[in-house]
């Protein structure tokens, strides 16, 4: 252990308060209970610019800080006044966390130096050995640099916040503009989609009328070409029938006269010839053949008539009053080849009045529905039922089949152009969309009911008359 610590007694030298304070680098002054300055250290002189000899013994400590007399923190302590009750200190002081009854304060003093100074003060009571208040001590630290830096920092911070606010507002505006641009785009897109749909509907109608026109022309051409030869075959057939009747009468007469032939050679030759040509058979078979041929020709004439009805080239795009049942019948004949090997067709026609329509186009609808029904029927022979009926101002026809049915997922799409479940080459997927367009043009509706695996019914309902405004358009 060093001798320093070994000393039993240490010589104690009392250090006078003024020496202590003068040696202390923090500006400090002391006042007594009468507010008279007792100490004003060197650091105080240096910081505040007032000398010790000017201040000690006076009550002028205020003048180092202010232009007019007013109490400092030390004065408040001496007078036992709570700074909270003094408007000069109320918002600036805080009690010291270290010393009971001491206060701290930070303030700007504009009269100090050239541009003023920020000072942090601490004032504490001084008590004698008996605990009685003998004065107050106040020390001051120049915190200008820190405050300036803090202020600069605050300003920078405020600027930054201002910039952030501006940017945020700008960003919000940008987002708003972008949203409205997106909204505008979406709107345009919807407009375009609608336009596109209108365009594709128009195109379908064009395709449709083109298709109808060419089918109609072809049908009309074929019908016209066949009509003439069938006409004379039919009339010749009538003549032929009467010639044959005469010939058979003549033969009967010859047969009766046969018994009178005396020459046995001639008689034998006649008999042999009759056996050879099988005259008995010919007599029964020729009328049968004639009857069958006649039926055939009647059917051909019928088909030709149907072709002409179906095409109606002469009144192709004209609204006329027509019986739906005739249109359906002629269409059935046209598509019979598609249907007859697959299904029995049952017609249950209810009474219906003529309606104002474009018959060629309605035939086209019936044809699509009939062919679809036939296609829906599988390998087993099926059944197609066609019904007509009348409901107030509306007339309807329906086509039902007991075929495959339509899957619920597909039900919403069957009227879409090009939607088909058929293999390539068998379906274009246009039939129902064209039919839909035609029915709409007639201000009617087309409805479907289907059970998968059991069958489907399409029902087309049409008004008896066109709306009056459309009729005016047509006549003007």
Ligand X SMILES: Nc1ncnc2c1ncn2[C@@H]1O[C@H](COP(=O)(O)OP(=O)(O)OP(=O)(O)O)[C@@H](O)[C@H]1O
404 contact choice in ligand X, Mg ion, none (CB below 5 to 8 Å, kind-dependent): ligand X
At its nearest, how many Å lie between Mg ion and the CB of residue 336? 17
Kindly tell me which of 203 and 315 has the beta carbon lying closer to ligand X. 203
The two three-digit tokens of residue 52, written as one number = 């010790």
Positive or negative: CA dihedral 238, 239, 241, 242: positive
Candidates 93-101, 112-120, 381-389, 429-437: pick the segment binding ligand X (CB under 6 A). Answer: 429-437
Per-residue contact track with ligand X, 431 to 450, x per CB under 6 A?
xxx-----------------
Q: Rounded to whole angstroms, how far apart are CA atoms 95 and 329? A: 111
Candidates 176-184, 293-301, 317-325, 423-431: pick the segment binding Mg ion (CB under 5 A). Answer: 423-431
414 binds ligand X (CB under 6 A): yes
Which of 105, 306, 309, 401 touches ligand X by CB under 6 A? Answer: 401
Contact 406, 456 (CB under 8 A): yes
Whose CB is nearest to Mg ion? 431
Contact 442, 375 (CB under 8 A): no
Kindly tell me which of 73 and 370 has the beta carbon lying closer to ligand X. 370
Kindly tell me which of 78 and 373 has the beta carbon lying closer to Mg ion. 373
Residue identified by tokens 């005259």 is: 279
Angle in degrees, CA 257, 258, 263, rounded to 5: 120
User: What is the footprint of ligand X within residues 340-379 (CB under 6 A)?
Assistant: 368, 372-373, 376
At its nearest, how many Å lie between Mg ion and the CB of residue 367? 9
DSSP letters along 358-397, please? Answer: -HHHHHHHHHHHHHHHHHH--SS-EEEEEEEEEETTEEEE
364 contact choice in Mg ion, ligand X, none (CB below 5 to 8 Å, kind-dependent): none
Kindly tell me which of 72 and 414 has the beta carbon lying closer to ligand X. 414
Candidates 45-53, 141-149, 385-393, 413-421: pick the segment binding ligand X (CB under 6 A). Answer: 413-421
Which of 166, 217, 428, 471 touches ligand X by CB under 6 A? Answer: 428
Binding-residue total with Mg ion (CB under 5 A):
2
Binding-residue total with ligand X (CB under 6 A):
22
CA 443 to each of CA 356, 446, 465: distance values in angstroms, whole numbers, following the listed order: 11, 10, 9
Which of 209, 419, 459, 465 touches ligand X by CB under 6 A? Answer: 419
At its nearest, how many Å lie between ligand X and the CB of residue 347? 17
Candidates 128-136, 235-243, 292-300, 425-433: pick the segment binding ligand X (CB under 6 A). Answer: 425-433
Which of 216, 359, 382, 403 touches ligand X by CB under 6 A? Answer: 403
The distance between the two most distant Cα atoms of the chain, rounded to a whole number of Å, is 199
User: What is the footprint of ligand X within residues 307-346 (CB under 6 A)?
Assistant: none
Which of 209, 293, 421, 461 touches ligand X by CB under 6 A? Answer: 421
Strands, E assignment, 72-205: 93-95, 103-109, 117-127, 133-142
Residue identified by tokens 């003998």 is: 134
Kindly tell me which of 321 and 418 has the beta carbon lying closer to Mg ion. 418
Per-residue contact track with Mg ion, 252 to 291, x per CB under 5 A?
----------------------------------------
User: What is the footprint of Mg ion within residues 359-418 (CB under 5 A)?
Assistant: 372
Q: Rounded to whole angstroms, how far apart are CA atoms 224 and 114? A: 121
Kindly tell me which of 117 and 342 has the beta carbon lying closer to ligand X. 342
Helix (H) or strand (E) holding 288: helix 279-311
At its nearest, how many Å lie between ligand X and the CB of residue 440? 15
Q: Rounded to whole angstroms, how far apart are CA atoms 216 and 308? A: 8
Contact 452, 409 (CB under 8 A): no
Positive or negative: CA dihedral 361, 366, 371, 372: positive
The two three-digit tokens of residue 416, written as one number = 């879409």
305 contact choice in Mg ion, ligand X, none (CB below 5 to 8 Å, kind-dependent): none
Q: Which residues contact 346 (CB under 8 A, 6 or more apart)?
A: 383, 384, 385, 386
Kindly tell me which of 29 and 458 has the beta carbon lying closer to Mg ion. 458
Per-residue contact track with ligand X, 27 to 56, x per CB under 6 A?
------------------------------
Task: Go through 199-222 and write b for each residue having 16 or more CB atoms within 10 A of its CB, e for each that does not.
Answer: eeeeebbeebbeebeebbeebbee
Residue identified by tokens 């250290």 is: 41
Which of 137, 303, 406, 446 touches ligand X by CB under 6 A? Answer: 406
Q: Rounded to whole angstroms, how far apart are CA atoms 384 and 341? A: 12
Q: Rounded to whole angstroms, how far apart are CA atoms 441 and 461? A: 12
| Binding stretches for Mg ion (CB under 5 A) | 372, 431
Residues of the shown chain interacting with ligand X in the complex, contacts defined by CB under 6 A: 368, 372-373, 376, 401, 403-406, 414, 419-422, 427-433, 456
């Amino acid at each position: 252990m060093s001798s320093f610590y070994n000393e039993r007694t240490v010589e104690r030298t009392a250090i006078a308060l003024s020496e202590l304070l003068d040696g202390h680098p923090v500006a400090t002054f002391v006042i007594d209970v009468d507010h008279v300055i007792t100490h004003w250290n060197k650091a105080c002189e240096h910081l505040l610019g007032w000398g010790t000899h000017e201040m000690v013994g006076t009550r002028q400590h205020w003048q180092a800080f202010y232009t007019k007399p007013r109490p400092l923190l030390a004065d408040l302590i001496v007078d036992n006044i709570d700074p909270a009750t003094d408007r000069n200190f109320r918002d600036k002081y805080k009690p010291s966390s270290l010393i009971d009854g001491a206060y701290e304060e930070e303030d700007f003093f504009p009269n100090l130096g050239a541009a003023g100074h920020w000072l942090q003060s601490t004032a504490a009571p001084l008590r004698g050995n008996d605990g009685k208040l003998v004065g107050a001590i106040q020390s001051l630290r120049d915190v200008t640099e820190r405050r300036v830096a803090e202020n600069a920092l605050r300003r920078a911070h405020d600027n930054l916040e201002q910039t952030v606010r501006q940017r945020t507002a700008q960003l919000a505006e940008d987002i708003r503009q972008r949203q409205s641009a997106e909204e505008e785009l979406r709107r345009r897109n919807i407009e375009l989609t609608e336009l596109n749909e209108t365009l594709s509907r128009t195109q379908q109608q064009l395709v449709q009328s083109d298709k109808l026109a060419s089918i109609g022309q072809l049908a009309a051409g074929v019908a016209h070409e066949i009509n003439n030869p069938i006409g004379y075959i039919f009339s010749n057939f009538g003549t032929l029938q009467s010639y044959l009747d005469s010939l058979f009468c003549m033969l009967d007469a010859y047969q009766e006269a046969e018994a009178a032939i005396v020459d046995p050679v001639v008689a034998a030759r006649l008999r042999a010839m009759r056996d050879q040509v099988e005259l008995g058979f010919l007599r029964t078979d020729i009328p049968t053949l004639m009857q069958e041929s006649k039926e055939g020709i009647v059917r051909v004439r019928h088909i030709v008539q149907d072709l002409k009805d179906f095409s109606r080239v002469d009144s192709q795009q004209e609204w006329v009053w027509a019986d739906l049942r005739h249109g359906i019948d002629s269409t059935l004949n046209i598509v019979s080849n598609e249907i007859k090997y697959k299904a029995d067709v049952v017609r249950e026609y209810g009474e219906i009045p003529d309606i104002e329509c474009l018959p060629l186009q309605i035939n086209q609808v019936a044809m699509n529905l009939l062919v679809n029904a036939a296609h829906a029927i599988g390998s087993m022979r099926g059944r197609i039922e066609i019904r007509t009926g009348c409901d107030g101002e509306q007339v309807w026809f329906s086509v039902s089949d007991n075929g495959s049915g339509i899957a619920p997922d597909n039900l919403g799409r069957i009227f879409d152009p090009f939607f088909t479940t058929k293999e390539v080459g068998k379906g274009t997927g246009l039939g129902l969309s064209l039919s839909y367009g035609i029915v709409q043009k007639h201000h009617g509706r087309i409805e479907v009911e289907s059970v998968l695996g059991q069958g489907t019914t399409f029902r087309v309902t049409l008004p008896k008359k066109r709306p009056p405004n459309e009729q005016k358009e047509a006549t003007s």
